[in-house]
Structure 1
């Protein structure tokens, strides 16, 4: 990856992300549905994924996320230090994911153990180790797919969950293959679990170290529960603050593309045909030509690239905000103040991961 061309300017990253013809996403020999696809193939599978994350589905899942968040926060210590990434973010991400996918509670510990192995492998890449870790995860996913098929056979009217809905999907007039289903579920779980945990760490760190914004979020949280309040405007402000926290410390570091022809970007970066390109979301989200040097949720919202842009923009943006919002709201509701631990310091993730590996905080 050291030979890849890294695009860091906001204009260059946006242009490349939106030009799927020149900057193709098929960069791996392995099946990645739909992230590693282009053109008509990508559109067909992206439609399937989008149907799993409609506003109606996300709205229906909100009570489930709220309940899971309250359970995790209730188990946290009061007055003692806890890690906002592992004890809060990872614990909630795994529980919420298992529940909306309809996976049993015993899978939670298995998923967290796998996340730890995957983090370690990311810090010290080894192809053989990575292959074993990927194979172990695929086996876990296939077990859940098989269990859902068996449940449907035993009871055709079993309640639908995320996995059942995916098993019912069709593409090109046929059911999804097992490999395609596993690839989609791998993307939702292997990719999103760690990402959500890092998002929680980033937001909690900023709120703990910026009491003014923590207080504003507390006000919004209380008003969002007031049925007479303007929920649309309040939710927009709430999400904008979450987005601004993530923009300033983007846990989604980069995505790969490969060029189909020679190209020169608007800022003068010359790239050969067939070159590997990294879209550096973290750098683009800090471009001083686009973003003022201040915390400005409303002013920066339109240019925020945390969830990407273009045809490969993250399909789970609304789902992610629903999950992240649930856990942050539960934490605020379950405390009078969140503050950094006095005798411990936060620890950042080592590249290629972004965000925090550990955020020690306390609540009272």
Structure 2
């Protein structure tokens, strides 16, 4: 099979790799029809995080089940499924709590699993991981594009909103205009927020945020952004969603949140250790900090229900669609901010 692999900073190739096979009775083999490039993939692409050259990449697969192990009961060959970015057993203490990303038996899509940006993947713990798409929607391309973000960014944006305590009537600031931040706007609207202030630096993305439900946008940077948000909210919002991970974004969240408010953070931390986080500011204002890596498997069914009934559609975050042979160009477009998020179709007939 063909799979995208990391060959070094700025170098993503497509190579022939062994097709994954059933190795345990809880496994399933999925023919990947849709996948995506994630903002977190850019870390190793830029050389900002370590990754072994030659390793498969990608963690957002959707496709058709081709084969299942003897113990798999939730899906059958021929079923359309989507797969969260983290593999989980569904049975351990943490999975039962809805914290699938802390699964005691967790796994990833790299290594000999095939990589999420390849033609096939092996899902260990298929019953605890794979989410079956109802048959009546399994071949509707528009619906599938709307469901694919549930593998990561839509569930992550939702986790930010839940962690920030967003509810009906809330005023919320969403820090970040990447795919997660934009999905965070959708999530805040879904939970009933009355005012949603989208904060970012790209006018086209802020326009999309408005389409998704943002009532105001802020494009200023640094202290000017803080002052603008506080002016719009008469002293700061009670709910702030940090969807970037950079120290500057987290400190902006701390600076704008109203005393006694809550920050929901889902941006993968980058540079926070080096640049410092204003913990004393949170302490002094009794600010609650909640969040972390999003257990998107816990949210998959409820979000899928809304997508299927037409009340939730994150598909516009995919500003480019490419085939597997162009995956290196997809990384370049995202790295240079020419694309919000790139959808990849590993098979020509998908």
TM-score range, shorter chain: under 0.3
TM-score by length of 1: 0.23
Greater helix share, structure number: 1
Structure of greater relative contact order (alpha carbons < 8 Å, 6+ residues apart): 1
Larger radius of gyration: 1
